Amino acid sequence: MSVKVIDSKTAAELVPDNATVALDGCLSTDVAEEILEKMKARYQETGHPKALDVWYGCGIGDNNGSAVENFAEKGMLRRVVGGLWSLAPKLAPMVAANEFEAFNFPQGTISQLFRDAAAHRPVLVTHTGLGTFVDPENDGGRLNEAAKNSTLVNRIKIHGKDYLAYETPKPDVAIFRGTYADENGNITFDDEPLTMDVTAVAMAAHNNGGKVIVQVKKVVKAGSLDPKAARVPGVLVDYVVPTDNPEMTKQTTDYIYNPDIIKSNIVKDAQQLDLPLDKKKVIARRAAFIFNPETDHCVNFGIGQYPMYCAMVMKEEGLSDNIVTTVEAGTFGGTSLGGGSFGTAIAPQATIDEPYMFDFYNGGGLDATYLGLAEADEKGNLNVSKFGPKIAGTGGFVDITQYTSKIVFTGTFTAGGLKEEIKDGKLHIIQEGKVKKFVKHVQQITFSGKVAYDSKQEVWYVTERAVFRLVKDRLELVEIAPGIDLQKDVLDQMDFKPIISKNLKEMDARIFEEPVMNIKNDK
């Protein structure tokens, strides 16, 4: 069997109007950018392909016009179902203008939907999304009025318990990028740090009568690839698009599988990190007290500066020696990266396909997770997915928080111009933030306090000046920072009054001191 080798312009012409298009990727990993750009150029020239129904799980793109933003043309889209929207800001005004139906589903759910679509299962039944904005009793994942007449998720009962049933897509086209294709169409991902949903996406399109188009760096002789490295078998692949454009074959990180090549500003020995004592370090240190090295062996650190800083501080404090970190994109172990390389890790111990990582999470495989704190309300609900017209999207947040027994949300108490300093073992507020993050009602429920409490999860909300924990129907204030006035600096900066613990105390003084406090010796 020989696969058809074509150029990217021809590939773009193969996508018909009204097609359901399944994309794979994480930021720039696995994204067939050259093909997507040619689709955009074709649409601008001919008006085709139009009315596309585009599905993707992890956020793809770079906030600068790539990946799914190639579809930000009036009339090109009929619907978009995405896990993370923040990397496609050009789509936000189109969503607000109701130019197409817009849905935000959990990243892991979309990943597993591709796998179920390959098996022709009509729905994916899961606990994921209950009590959040994805729940049909709330918004059903809809982001605009254009989507109000479409129902892609329903609430059902099985043995008296509530679940959500998500409709599986039927892709007409799957588009992604690999590294090498042999003459039979077998695809390897040697230069990609992640394999994400490639097998599921390809199989979903193939088994539903669609076409699979793969951009690669090079086509090689049949039989020359290691069969165990071929993550997509040739029988699933219809077209291969080799490209010599270095910008289109550039990988997210070129050092990811070489433990000897490590960026010194990302990974250092614990004694060499020497992180400055500021509000970020205070938050991370306090969060580290919640970590239990005797029971918390497998840990997830989410996207955002504060969760990633927790990982760095725990390394500095000597807490991370015996834990395995994970990232939802598929990595176990190593040092997780942030920014434009989020989803990857330096020198991981193992890398698996994304649907299986979410199987691991859904089954309670994580012992603890550290995530961002953008907006919280009096019932313990969190919003990290939508702020006014800005659509961030849930990413893997819902998948992770609904199954992990210990959850630590981290972030500053207020936002917008907040200035603070650590001096003489105390926290000093120089300028208060303009935006309150503890509000009466969150704009969108990405995390349900009620569902978490009913599930007996341990939930903490850690800021630089106050620490809360989730109790029945409310937040309880349990600690404040030394130097902080309870009324002026905490309660007056909230839109609701939390329960105040009868045992309210100051945070451990070592959090605000140098040198390294060595929490490890306390456990």
Q: Please report, for the chain, the start and end positions of each structural domain, with discontinuous segments joined by +.
A: 4-244, 277-515
Instruction: Write the single-letter amino acid at 149.
Output: N
Is 378 a catalytic site residue?
A: no
DSSP result, 314-349: HHHTT-STT-EEEETTTEESSEE--GGGTT-EES-S
CA dist 113 → 58, 73, 133, 325, 498 (Å): 13, 27, 19, 25, 39
Q: Is the peptide bond before 169 cis (omega within 30 degrees of 0)?
A: no
Q: Which of 58, 28, 42, 7 is nearest to 249 (CA)?
A: 28
Mean pLDDT, each 10-residue run in order, the chain (523 residues): 90 98 93 96 98 96 90 98 94 96 98 98 97 97 97 97 97 97 96 94 98 96 95 98 62 34 36 76 92 89 84 80 88 78 81 96 96 96 91 94 96 96 94 97 96 97 98 96 97 97 95 71 46
Residue 132 token pair: 């959040």
CA-angle at 30, arms to 25 and 32, nearest 5° = 100
Instruction: Report the C-alpha gap between 369 and 407 in whole angstroms.
Output: 5
- In this prediction, residue 271 carries a pLDDT of 43
Strand order in 298-301's β-sheet? 350-351, 331-332, 324-327, 298-301, 368-372, 406-410, 458-462, 466-471, 474-480, 499-506
Q: State the pTM of this model.
A: 0.90
- In this prediction, residue 270 carries a pLDDT of 39
User: Which residue is listed with tokens 């490295």?
Assistant: 229
User: Which residue is listed with tokens 């969108």?
Assistant: 444
CATH topology agreement for domains 4-244 and 277-515:
yes
User: Which residue is listed with tokens 């930000």?
Assistant: 72
- In this prediction, residue 256 carries a pLDDT of 33
Instruction: Write the single-letter amino acid at 127.
Output: H
**Residue 290: CB atoms within 10 Å:** 18
- In this prediction, residue 1 carries a pLDDT of 62
Pairing of strands 211-216, 101-104: unpaired
Residue 126 pairs in a beta bridge with 164
Interhelix angle for 107-118 vs 354-362, to 10°? 120
Instruction: Report the C-alpha gap between 479 and 151 in whole angstroms.
Output: 44
- In this prediction, residue 244 carries a pLDDT of 60
Identified catalytic residue from 328, 375, 378, 479: 328
CATH number of 4-244: 3.40.1080.10
Q: How far is CA 160 from the centre of its chain?
A: 31
What is the CATH superfamily name and number for domain 277-515? Glutaconate Coenzyme A-transferase (3.40.1080.10)
**Residue 297: CB atoms within 10 Å:** 13
Instruction: Report the C-alpha gap between 471 and 477 in whole angstroms.
Output: 10
Residue 214 pairs in a beta bridge with 176, 240
* Contact criterion met (CB below 8 Å) for 460 and 290: yes
User: Which residue is listed with tokens 């649409």?
Assistant: 43
